[in-house]
Amino acid sequence: MSDGIAWIGAHHHTPLSTVPGMLGGISLTLARGMETDEFLINLGADLDQLAARTPGSELRAPAGQPGRSSPQLNRAMYGTCGEWTYVLEDWGVATWATGYQGKVESMLPCEGEEILCLTANRFSPPALVIHAPGAFAYRADFGMDTGQGSALDAALGAAGAVFPSMPEAGEADVVACFEEYGERLPELVFTAVGAYTGVTIEQDAVRGGGLPGVLLPPA
**Domain presence at residue 144:** yes
| Cα separation, 212 vs 108, whole angstroms | 24
In this predicted model, what pLDDT tens digit does every residue of 195-205 receive, in sequence order?
Answer: 999 999 999 99
**Domain presence at residue 218:** no
Distance of CA 151 to CAs 34, 83, 133, 169, 193, Å? 21, 17, 11, 24, 10
| Cα separation, 168 vs 216, whole angstroms | 41
Domain count for the chain: 1
**Domain presence at residue 194:** yes
What is the per-residue pLDDT for 89? 97
Q: Which domain holds residue 104?
A: 6-56+75-213
- Cβ distance 148 to 134 under 8 Å? no
| Cα separation, 217 vs 91, whole angstroms | 12
In this predicted model, what pLDDT tens digit does every residue of 27-75 receive, in sequence order?
Answer: 999 999 999 999 999 999 999 999 999 999 999 876 654 555 456 899 9
**Domain presence at residue 70:** no
**Domain presence at residue 97:** yes
What is the per-residue pLDDT for 3? 80
In this predicted model, what pLDDT tens digit does every residue of 94-133 receive, in sequence order?
Answer: 999 999 999 999 999 999 999 999 999 999 999 999 999 9
**Domain presence at residue 62:** no
**Domain presence at residue 1:** no
Q: Which long-range contacts (CB under 8 A, 24 or more apart) does 131-140 make?
A: 132/100, 134/109, 134/110, 135/109, 135/110, 135/111, 136/109, 137/100, 137/109
CA angle 103, 108, 111 (to 5 degrees): 150
pTM given for the model: 0.93
Helices marked H in 60-202 — which ranges?
Answer: 95-101, 151-158, 171-181, 185-197
CA 205 to chain centre: 17
What is the per-residue pLDDT for 179? 81
